[in-house]
Amino acid sequence: MSENEDRPIPELAELESPVSGSFLQYFRRKVYRRTATIQLANFSFAVPVAIFVECLSMIVHLFAVVDGRKGKSQ
């Protein structure tokens, strides 16, 4: 990288205009809505998998207790 790539372009800095507060609120609501949807989708997948793994570990532990290997199950 050269030194010229690190500096901002002055012509573009002059084109900057302030953004209205209502636009920022609108934009933030859209971002928050998408973030909430992603978190809900992740949660709805992760929780059933975690429950399945815990049930499976309980079943394995029960078989270890029945076989007489109670101390060796972990």
Residue 69, pLDDT score = 65
Is position 68 within any domain?
Answer: yes
Count of domains observed in the chain: 1
User: Model pTM?
Assistant: 0.49
Residue 11, pLDDT score = 80
Residue 16, pLDDT score = 76
Is position 55 within any domain?
Answer: yes
Is position 11 within any domain?
Answer: no
| Residues 57 and 73 sit within 8 Å (Cβ to Cβ) | no
Domain residues for the domain of 52 are 20-72
Is position 34 within any domain?
Answer: yes
Which of the 8 DSSP states describes residue 13? H
Which of the 8 DSSP states describes residue 9? P
Is position 9 within any domain?
Answer: no
Coil/strand/helix, residue 44:
helix
Low-confidence ranges of the chain (pLDDT < 70): 1-6, 69-74
The radius of gyration of the chain from alpha carbons, rounded to an integer in Å, stands at 28
Residue 9, pLDDT score = 80
Is position 39 within any domain?
Answer: yes
